[in-house]
Amino acid sequence: MQVKITPSPLAGTVQLPPSKSFAIRALICSALAGGGSVAPLGTSADIAATVQALADLAAGRDEIFCNESGSLVRFLIPVAAALGKSVTFTGAGRLPRRPLDAFATLLPQHGVQVQTDGGLPFSVTGKLRPGQYEIAGNVSSQYLTGLLLALPLLDGDSAVLLTTELESKPYIDITLQVMAAFGVQVRPTDFGYLVRGNQQYKPVDFTVESDWSHAAFFMAAGTVGQEIKIAGLNPASTQGDKAVCAMMERFGARVEVRDRIVRCCGGELRPAEIDARDIPDMVPALAVTAAFAKGTTRITGAGRLRFKESDRLQSVALNLRAMGVQVEELPDGLVIHGTGVVQGGTVDGCNDHRIVMAFSVAAAYAAGDSVIKQAESINKTYPAFFEDFCALGGKADVISNR
């Protein structure tokens, strides 16, 4: 799908969809508990894939299709192994090429036979054994979440030892919070985590909070232009992406959080230095904001973005250049030379929801019309994005469904 964006400032109030990070974890815990409820869920492709994958796992199917969800496949592989399932995980889009090396090395050390070429399809046979698990903390935190979800199901205690400093810790905090809500405890240590075996997930009714990661796109609009109000966000959330408030303040925005409403409006835009190790999903929105700030912004600590739905660092650089912005790629980040002006252009959505949303905001403030290709990618996490975008005053028209 191609969407034409005509420049038009955004202003007003928006309510964001439920947090995918909370929802997927809670759905898995609820399935392992054999009951309870998880709501609200929204209608994203990742949530639909999770619901179907859990149903297939419970039904004893030998193939689990994870669509394009990297978190789902990395969470479910060790869970399936802990349950003694013999299954093959498959996926679509770029997911089959995203790395699963950590599990290919680790699981065979603990009783599970693995068949993979480094990605999907990924087959597991046998039952996971308790013991000591060593894993790097600077690879995707999704591996660690998968282990933490699975190890309480084993018939003995386990220890997870981190061989490097843990990055993206807020995502692990979400994991532990959701597990605790379902009655399962994990004890952090100086070296990793201790997980008691023979625990049981308990059925509960779990309420999913709104998604801070999507706030970044509309707060970018507020920083560049007029006031945006985002309703329903939990200011005490464990979601690391609530740091978007502090990040936008670095760019000169005025941000106020009160009564679960975030208000963001522009001040005098300025460049910033950003360490994105704990907030990688915000990089596309931060990069777009930087393009409108006169001066040089440096974003580092985001090397893992090269293994997302697209190589996000490459995708951001490609599209900033298409809109007339000078940018340099680093191995783990970007250097953006903002001039305060962004030209209209043709944006390659790269089959990546966060690229489409970030550059739709850039297009709303560009000096000319833009066309966003592969705009349907928003369905992965935020199907109503363009509805909300237009409700705030944006002008987006579908010009092709191909």
| CA–CA distance, 315 with 357 (Å, rounded to integer) | 13
Reading the block at residue 149, the tokens are 């979800």
**DSSP secondary structure string, 226-260?**
S-EEEES--TT---GGGGHHHHHHHTT-EEEEETT
Mutual orientation of helices 312-322 and 353-364 as an angle, nearest 10°? 20
| CA–CA distance, 109 with 227 (Å, rounded to integer) | 54
Q: Considering only CA atoms, which of 103, 187, 189 is closest in space to residue 140?
A: 103
Amino acid letter, 346 = T
Mutual orientation of helices 283-291 and 353-364 as an angle, nearest 10°? 20
SS3 197: coil
| CA–CA distance, 231 with 97 (Å, rounded to integer) | 37
Catalytic residue numbers read: 281
| CA–CA distance, 199 with 151 (Å, rounded to integer) | 9
| CA–CA distance, 263 with 14 (Å, rounded to integer) | 11
Mutual orientation of helices 353-364 and 212-224 as an angle, nearest 10°? 20
| CA triple 294-221-18, angle to 5 deg | 140
| CA–CA distance, 330 with 303 (Å, rounded to integer) | 9
